[in-house]
Structure 1
Amino acid sequence: MNAPPTLRQRRKQARPQELLDAALTLFVERGFAATRAEEVAKRAGVSKGTLYLYYPSKEELFKAVVRHNLSATILEGMEIAAAFEGSTADLLALVLRTWWERVGVGPSGGIVKIMMAEAGNFPELAQFYAEEVIMPAQQLLGSVIQRGVQRGEFRPVPVADTVHVLCSPLLFLSLQQQSFGACGVYTPQLVPESVLNTQIDLMLRGLMSDHGPGRPSP
């Protein structure tokens, strides 16, 4: 019979998550360039040397943060899409709302702001982000659009352009949350959840085939 893990063993197992949480908080607060590895280690309650045992550079730490907070959400969306048996309208709404709940309203959305602001200064990280986040997200949404077209639920549309139209309002809302929203500045007539619902309603009405099965749920 295996002995239960000791407190020290449990702390060691939890340490990568603690480091990722500390790194996400500091990256969002200060940006990538201004965040120092020793600050992340201090926030997580470990030494800088311990941090480097898990993540050998700040760049690798940032990549791990991206994979944990964004790549995992995209993978979840792919799994939802693969198993979904309902209408494509309901699937598309579910994918968009899941992204908003996992990323848009939480600290993970700050990663989007970081990349928009600092990509030009860190082209290697920008390439990583494109391959790890942007392209898989576009593939996910593109596959949902193609599903609807193939099933006769959506009218034929240019898939790549439609994906950009879907993504742009979400990116705007996320950036707003991480900028004006983060410092409490009031922006009149902007309630993110209401804007998201309106976007979904407009997009689905624009996509729906006149003779296709299934209509968007209220």
Structure 2
Amino acid sequence: MLKDLLIDHEIILASGSPRRQKFFEELEIPVTIAVRPVEEVYPENLKEEEITDYLAALKAEAFKNDLKQNQILITSDTIVYNNETALGKPADHEEAVQMISSLSGKEHDVITSVCFTSTSSRKILNHKTRVFFSELSQDEIEYYVSNYKPFDKAGGYAIQEWIGLIGIEKIEGSYFNVVGLPTYEVYKTLKEMLKV
């Protein structure tokens, strides 16, 4: 069991996301939450998982001189990738409506990268889930943004909320990845790191 391997280790989760924190709780992995400000800017030539890999590693850099021998730092980043464009978190109501409108009636990818950093190693994994949205009316989009205020969510929506219930026809890949973390791969990677 992973929790037996964790007895002599501390997992630091560098994320303010309540969804990611809840996943670790449900995985029965105790974590210490530590968030440091990072300017999330990436080179323009990067595409798809290159963007999330870069940003997940960038978030780890903020801790690089402070990790102790028995600590594993987990940083991550999620984007919605649509029409060769990365959609991050919307700045306001108007941008959230614009983002969801651009996804309506189409398929897009949700890409998450997770970076595991210790004093001796760094490993980055990424996962891509394809999401198929039905055609959404302007009223439905406005209603969702006004009532759920999805300004902390990549692409301006959360699959587990009302918009996902009424608008997502199907997905290909991990559902949990769209919520914010490819849980199976995170669990597996931690087990591999701790067995070494």
TM-score of the two chains, using structure 1 as the length reference: 0.28
Q: Which has the higher strand share?
A: 2
Larger Cα Rg: Structure 1 or Structure 2? 1
